[in-house]
Amino acid sequence: MINQNKRLFGIILAVPILLLIPLIVMLFSDEVKWTLSDFIIAGILLLSAGLTFEFILRKIKITKLRIAFCVVLFFVFVLVWGELAVGIFGTPFGGS
């Protein structure tokens, strides 16, 4: 149980650390222009993906199912991130 709590703490700690990357880049470059809503949406997306991974690892005991669900979740995360970043599907939420 202690390892699971460490993993959960690591997920929660990783989100703001990952969000520091674009914040620091914005200080040194004009190429990255995130608004407050971009940071909020990215934080929600990262946190929800991380907590869903944690849920999968805690609740599903069969290794093959764990792997399958985690792979599907990863691809959904990448597709949503890509759509929000550059609009790969052409939805109104696209970033380009």
Q: Could you read off the pLDDT of 15-59 as tens digits, one per residue?
A: 999 999 999 999 999 988 899 999 999 999 999 999 999 999 999
- Two tokens, residue 58: 């805690």
Rounded to a whole number of angstroms, the distance between the first and last alpha carbons of the chain is: 44
Residue 88 has pLDDT above 90, yes or no: no
Residue 1 pLDDT: 61
Sign of CA dihedral 11, 51, 42, 94: positive
Per the model's pLDDT, the better-predicted residue between 72 and 87 turns out to be 72
**pTM for the model:** 0.86
Whether 15 contacts 50, CB under 8 Å: yes
Count of C-beta atoms within a 10 Å radius of residue 59:
9
Where do the domains of the chain lie?
2-86
3-state DSSP call for residue 95?
Answer: coil
Sign of CA dihedral 42, 22, 57, 88: positive
